[in-house]
Amino acid sequence: MKRILVTGGAGFIGANFVRYLIEHSDAGITVLDALTYAGNLQSLHGLDRSRLHVVVGDITDAPLVDGLVADADAVVHFAAESHNDNSLFDPRPFLDTNVVGTYTLLEAVRRHEVRFHHISTDEVYGDLELDDPARFTETTPYNPSSPYSSTKAASDMLVRAWGRSFGVRATISNCSNNYGPYQHVEKFIPRQITNILHGVRPKLYGTGANVRDWIHVEDHSSAVWEIVNRGTPGKTYLIGADGEKNNREVLELILGLMGQDAAAFDHVTDRPGHDLRYGIDSTMLREELGWSPAHRDLAAGLAQTIDWYRQNPWWWEGAKAGTEDRYVQQAAARGTEDAGTAGGGA
Ligand code: NAD
Ligand code: TDX
């Protein structure tokens, strides 16, 4: 493939994917990113600009999208509003970007007959009981819980319909929770690491029994690249690395790795509608495309991630105080005052 259009390439996973492509392919890359609060061009620092072209713009801008898609051999679509807590506070941007934005891209790839890969989430399947032996598979019925996950589910349905009705050559991947460098400080792992670096006690929602299935972002990138190259249009692939752990265990690991007491955190009011457990069965991807994750040790991956945040405060410090202020505002709007750290702490 000569030119890949990566939407959301200045976000956490998109930027890591661009870095992966620079290293593991010879494709030219065009990034289309609106640089919302979650986008950061610094996440692409140091990359070979002869292979990377960045366009600042919105995926709902149909004429802009049409021109960029016309020049691409494939589109890999990461751009989204991605944070559940924000979707509970103000759902509208989630509908605009995740639903209308995906529709806008689908119409363009349909017109220009360009291969499309849609990045989605395991959250479309709802949640599992803690003791359920089952995990999500490609045939699990959709049952999203939050405004965020329902807009991702809607976008998946659009992709399937554009494949069946208009012959768009599209694949979908639904991945579990990613961690690694360049993740916004609003998300669980970087929020707690940067709180500890600021001398602020981490915040655990509810009891912390909720389980997430963690995958290193590099493994997500390698899986997506396999699917883009060798996946079967019309198919959905689940991406996961058998990394289930509850939030309390993850937080205790982080505290231990950062030399803190395992109990040095605060329980705060739970997220409304908080999904209990996600778990991915990625057998199909592994058997059909021979993919497997390179990072299998969460403690080692967390140690590397902690080190990255320690070494790169220039990348995250600018977003920290505003993010914590947003948590305070969201808690106040719900009448629960304990979820944020006003002013980012210090
Ligand atoms: P992110 O919030 O870090 O990045 C999203 C990027 O999209 C930002 O750079 C932002 O500026 C851009 N963007 C937002 N609205 C846009 C618009 N209207 N037009 C153009 N660009 C826009 O998100 P992320 O964590 O990197 O997630 C990327 C994708 O992966 C999303 O589709 C998300 O649903 C999916 N996903 C994320 C995870 C996870 O653990 N983070 C897991 C599974 C799937
Ligand atoms: O301060 C916190 N304390 C806490 O206990 C935060 C921010 C989160 N949590 C909990 C909520 C979740 O159970 O940690 C878990 C992970 O939270 P997030 O990082 O907000 O991720 P999650 O809601 O699980 O969604 C993520 O994975 C799936 C991504 O943000 C989504 O984009 C992706 O689709």
Query: What is the pLDDT of the chain when averaged over all its residues?
Result: 96
For residue 221, what pLDDT is reported?
Answer: 98
Residue of 176, 186, 187 to mutate, ligand 2, most atoms within 8 A of C-beta? 187
- What is the average per-residue pLDDT within 217-224? 98
Query: Measuring from atom 37 of ligand 1, which residue has the nearest CA?
Result: 121
CA 85–ligand 2 middle distance (angstroms): 8
Closest CA to 300 of 243, 340, 246, 338: 243
Q: What is the mean pLDDT of residues 292-300?
A: 97
**Active-site pick, 33, 58, 81, 122:** 122
Per-residue pLDDT at 343: 43
What does the pLDDT read at residue 342? 47
| Residue 346: pLDDT over 70 | no
pLDDT, tens only, 154-163: 999 999 999 9
Helix (H) / strand (E) element for 174: namely strand 170-175
Question: Which tens digit of pLDDT belongs to each residue from 181-216?
Answer: 999 999 999 999 999 999 999 999 999 999 999 999
pLDDT at 344 over 90: no
- The model's pLDDT over 248-280, given as tens digits with 9 standing for 90+, comes to 999 999 999 999 999 999 999 999 999 999 999
CATH dotted code for 3-179+215-239: 3.40.50.720
Would residue 148 show up in a list of annotated catalytic residues for this protein?
yes
> Can you tell me which residue has the tokens 């977003």?
319
**pLDDT tens-digit series, residues 81-112:** 999 999 999 999 999 999 999 999 999 999 99
- The full set of domain ranges for the chain reads 3-179+215-239
Model pTM? 0.97
